[in-house]
Structure 1
Amino acid sequence: MDNSVPENKSPLKFFLLVFLLSIPFWILGAMAGDLTKILPIKLPISALMTFCPLLAATILVYKERKVSGVKELLKRAFDHKKIKDKIWYIPIIFLIPGITLMSYWFMQITGATLPEPQTPLLFAFISFFIFLIAAIGEEVGWSGYAIDPMQNKWGALKASIILGLVWAIWHIIPYSQAHQTPIWILWQSISTVFLRVIIVWIYNNTVKSVFATILFHAMINVSLFMFPNYGSHYNSFVGAIFIILTVVIVVFFWGTKTLARYRYT
């Protein structure tokens, strides 16, 4: 049993609190513009809501178990020792970059006009650590608090889709404030839902390591902003197709109930 969070934790309360805590950032994003004035990447001010899931989980855990519960929750961000089978670092680190590269090649083959990828080493290094910290702000909440009671109730696939829908809806306002088109937001939201399935698959196969989900989450953002011109040429439809195909393969081989029962073991 995982003693890091209270057994009677409520995903619904968590979701409501996350959205409530995010409102000031959405308002600030509407008033203050975006971060492109100081950063080359296309991010709105509302992207700073990334720490709201961590804050929401911390508040709820503190109400149940005080400081000791919060300490256990925060420790989960660094539970890399749970990843006993090191082969899982391959999908954790390389799966999303691989999907992004295939999306780029597909766009080239189908005639899309794309600039040559430019990946300044310093930018890649700095962005990785920025996105790693941001991923801690999200995954301690989504994976460290919310997903387990949802899996216990609905099973891994259904729970990950429901959580993915919440995750996608939570991102809609920042996507809009980043001046993305409605069709781009639609397909990126679909990608977000299916990416959560992949995250839960990784989580369940690494003995529920939140660190694994944090690292994978960071690689999602790094890969997106390594796309030509800091992600400005990223086609969310193409990306969604490759992500959906990946989820179909995962579900076929690992099943729907736990996403962790490899059928050929």
Structure 2
Amino acid sequence: MADIASQTHTVQVPSRAIIGFYALTFAITWGLVGGYILAPDWAAATFGEISGSHPFFFLATWAPAISAFAVVLFFGGLVGLKAFLSRLFMWRGSPPWVVFILIGIPLVFMMGSLMKGGPFFAPLPPEGVGAVGALTLMMLFLGPIEEFGWRGIAQPILQRRMAPLWAGVIIGTLWGIWHLPAFFLSGTVFAGWNFFPFLVGNITLAVLVTPIFNMSRGSLLWPMLFHWQLILPIWPDAQPFDTWILVAVTVVVVWWNRETMLHRAGSVTEVIPDNGGASQ
């Protein structure tokens, strides 16, 4: 046990690894989706029509996690990967942030929906409650898995060189651009959206999750639950009001936490936590 702890303590992912992480992430997603944009008939005939249940859809969505695991394995081996995954079990967080994730985010969607004359909850599909439950569970294994990359790799490495606020802005910008091919892919929800508000929303969310990440000392659990709440099918369509509400919330959060958001001191900078437990 002592030997394992020693190895974990001495192995760390260097800052330059973020270049490989982003290069691999974009290569996987843009490479898989690009064929359906540039040669849609050929791609559909060869691999089948793209959909939310297509294997390529899952691989494209999981690209940040795949890249994160590759980076950690390359620099830390299996011991490093085990310590990296221990961040999933860092459950201690600030109670106000827990309340915000569990209650505040749903209220944002409900308020936004009411502002546009909509319902509190999304209407049930013809398939009923069972279908919603299945989709809710599936969503847990889609968007939240991205956090292995965004918060697992990018956030701690960027915070070695800049204040958390700017790390969040950069991650949010690249996160939005990473989604860009989906806006040119017919048959997806993104095809009917405007990219600029979406990009603003991504930057807002990446900044908003930053204090949650740092206050939980690098936990992946809370950012994943945060991400899951954002895509749950039970919340009503509140666009664009949910985005503007979240922008206002984020401005208040940054001002309230300006000492920690505008300075690097105390921010999480380790990808592989010491002793398989808590980031320093």
The two structures have a TM-score, normalised by structure 1, of 0.79
For residue 28 of structure 1, report the CA deviation from its aligned partner: 5.5
* C-alpha separation in 2, matches of 1:205 and 1:69: 23
> Max radius of gyration: which structure?
2
1:197 aligns with 2:227: no
Partner of 2:86: 75
Question: Cα distance 1:259–1:202, how it changes in 2: closer, same or farther (>3 A)?
Answer: farther
CA contact (8 A) 1:204 1:258 kept: no
Partner of 1:107: 116
Read off the aligned partner of 1:63 and give its amino acid letter.
F
Name the one with the larger helix percent. 1
Question: Cα distance 1:126–1:145, how it changes in 2: closer, same or farther (>3 A)?
Answer: same
For residue 8 of structure 1, report the CA deviation from its aligned partner: 1.0
CA contact (8 A) 2:180 2:195 kept: yes
Structure 1 outlier segments of 4+, above 6 Å:
113-116
Read off the aligned partner of 2:104 and give its amino acid letter.
L
Partner of 1:23: 30
**RMSD value over aligned CA atoms?**
3.1
1:4-153 equivalent positions in 2, closer than 5 A: 6-9=12-15, 10-27=17-34, 29-30=36-37, 31-32=43-44, 33-35=49-51, 46=57, 48-80=59-91, 82-83=92-93, 85-108=94-117, 117-119=122-124, 120-153=128-161
* C-alpha separation in 2, matches of 1:93 and 1:5: 35
1:165-244 equivalent positions in 2, closer than 5 A: 165-177=173-185, 178=188, 180=190, 184-222=194-232, 225-228=233-236, 231=237, 234-235=238-239, 237-244=240-247
Q: What are the ranges of 5 or more consecutive residues in structure 1 without an aligned counterpart?
A: none
Read off the aligned partner of 2:204 and give its amino acid letter.
F
Read off the aligned partner of 1:241 and give its amino acid letter.
W
Residues 138-190 of structure 1 deviation map (CA, whole Å, 9 limit, x = unaligned): 11111111101211211110110001000010112124322645762221121
SS in 1 for 2:159: helix
Read off the aligned partner of 2:152 and give its amino acid letter.
G
Question: Cα distance 1:87–1:248, how it changes in 2: closer, same or farther (>3 A)?
Answer: closer
Residues 25-58 of structure 1 deviation map (CA, whole Å, 9 limit, x = unaligned): 213554344426x7xxxx9964641211111111
SS in 2 for 1:117: coil
**More relative contact order, 1 or 2 (CA 8 Å, 6+ apart):** 2
Which sits farther off after the overlay, 201-210 or 119-128? Answer: 119-128
Percent of counterpart pairs with the same letter?
21
Question: Cα distance 1:67–1:117, how it changes in 2: closer, same or farther (>3 A)?
Answer: closer
Read off the aligned partner of 2:97 and give its amino acid letter.
W
Number of aligned residue pairs: give it. 242
Partner of 2:165: 157
Residues 198-219 of structure 1 deviation map (CA, whole Å, 9 limit, x = unaligned): 1112111222211100111111
SS in 1 for 2:122: coil
* C-alpha separation in 2, matches of 1:4 and 1:102: 48
SS in 2 for 1:226: coil
Residues 214-248 of structure 1 deviation map (CA, whole Å, 9 limit, x = unaligned): 111111111xx3355xx5xx52x322211111111
Which sits farther off after the overlay, 14-23 or 133-142? Answer: 133-142
Q: What are the ranges of 5 or more consecutive residues in structure 2 without an aligned counterpart?
A: 1-7, 38-42, 267-280
Partner of 2:4: none
